[in-house]
Structure 1
Amino acid sequence: MMKKIFAVSALALTLNACSGTQLGVGAGTGFPGVGVGAGLSFSIGQKDVPNDEAYAQSIIKEIYDQIGDTRKYAGKLCTIRIATDAEGVVLDVTRLEGDESWCDQVMMAATQLHQVSAPPTAMVDRLQHGLTLDLIPK
């Protein structure tokens, strides 16, 4: 009996760890994304919130606006996690992976964003834990 409980618990933990899903259409990483050359990760069931994609696109646009010309980084990937509060104040930006030189540019731009637009009410709790974005310029 104890072995069956352990096996079910291990399976549940494994499935829980693999429960991320993606929205939209992206390029370069093999993972779908959101916006122009960018990706966004949400937990299963959260992709149905219509304002999530639009909000993610607004953050991505603000990062790209800070960087300016991204042509020399076309096709390169940088994955970051950005956390904000209910008013859109940036609490944390963390580099997760990607091309070193492109990620340096993304991190400089993202950390200069002290505030972004306020998130939709449905996203407030999730954004305090961070939103994962894949930035891939075209």
Structure 2
Amino acid sequence: MSDFSIGVDLGGTNLRIAAVDQDGRLIEKVTLGTKVALGRSRVVDDMCDAVLHMSEKYCNSSNLVGIGIGVPGIIDMETGMVRESPNLPGWSDYPVRAEIESRLGTRVLLENDANAAAFGEKWLGGR
């Protein structure tokens, strides 16, 4: 059984979800519109539904290690809260990590989206 992770790019316009193996190879990716006008609960619902759908495809043959979410704005890493996000109105002081962990029952790492992109470039290099 191999390990895989799911990465989420939560933007103000698009919601991108990808499954990658332990070497960082892309297994699958999905892009949805982020429906911020419908509120944060709707965005989290859509994200969790897509993550569950993707993880269910691979959990029989692989082990989900965790989920990483890149979010624009100021993130409190200790609490997993979005302190402020200009692209996500109404998300200030929202405990997004706790909400998603409780819905999905797995470990979630929340990171500023620019930092997450820099980590990816460092790990995999420019392509």
Look at both structures and tell me which one has the larger radius of gyration over its CA atoms.
1
Q: Per chain length, whose mean CA-contact separation is higher, i.e. which structure has more relative contact order (CA < 8 Å, sep 6+)?
A: 1
Higher helix share: 1
Higher strand share: 2
User: TM-score scaled to structure 2, two decimals?
Assistant: 0.27
User: TM-score scaled to structure 1, two decimals?
Assistant: 0.25
